[in-house]
């Protein structure tokens, strides 16, 4: 077939066929890439359960480790190191709670002492009040006696 002797409509037909074949080739390439990508992901991450957060962290660490060789390694490389970090955090939390508990106990003791002092002051004030009441009652009785005596003295005159 001599391409130089083809007419314009024949050339257009040939170009459209070639364009269709190129599109089909691109589709096949994309399908193969997708299939290869799925195979790669399965090979690479197939051992990890994507619903487990620890495994996801481990997978991410392995991915980053390849990119950042020589940099500081993250804590979550294995379950034991995660457990150690959690235990350390729990111990620091326990120490903080113990110090808060000690402070609360100290405040509680101080409040109890203040209440005891207040109770003693109240008892003392009540005792002093009883003494004053007793003295006032005696004074009232004495004055009542005086009134009765004065009335008794003034009644015969009147």
Please count the other Cβ atoms lying within 10 Å of the Cβ belonging to residue 137.
10
Query: What per-residue confidence (pLDDT) applies to 2?
Result: 74
Estimate to the nearest angstrom the gap between the alpha carbon of 57 and the chain centroid: 21
How does pLDDT run along the chain (158 residues), one tens digit per residue? 677 788 888 888 999 999 999 999 999 999 988 888 877 776 666 655 566 777 777 777 777 776 666 555 554 456 778 888 889 999 999 999 999 999 999 999 999 999 999 999 999 988 888 888 899 999 999 999 999 988 888 866 55
pTM: 0.37
């Amino acid at each position: 077939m001599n391409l130089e002797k083809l007419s314009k409509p024949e050339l257009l037909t040939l170009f459209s066929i070639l364009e269709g074949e190129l599109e089909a080739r691109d589709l096949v390439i994309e399908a193969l890439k997708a299939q290869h990508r799925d195979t790669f992901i399965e090979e690479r991450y197939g051992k990890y359960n994507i619903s487990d957060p620890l495994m996801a962290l481990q997978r991410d660490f392995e991915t980053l480790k390849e990119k950042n060789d020589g940099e500081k390694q993250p804590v979550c490389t294995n379950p034991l190191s995660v457990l150690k970090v959690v235990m350390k955090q729990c111990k620091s939390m326990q120490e903080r709670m113990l110090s808060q508990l000690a402070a609360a106990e100290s405040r509680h003791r101080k409040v109890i002492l203040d209440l005891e002092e207040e109770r003693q002051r109240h008892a003392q004030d009540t005792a002093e009040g009883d003494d004053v009441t007793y003295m006032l009652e005696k004074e009232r009785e004495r004055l009542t006696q005086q009134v009765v005596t004065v009335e008794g003295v003034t009644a015969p005159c009147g």
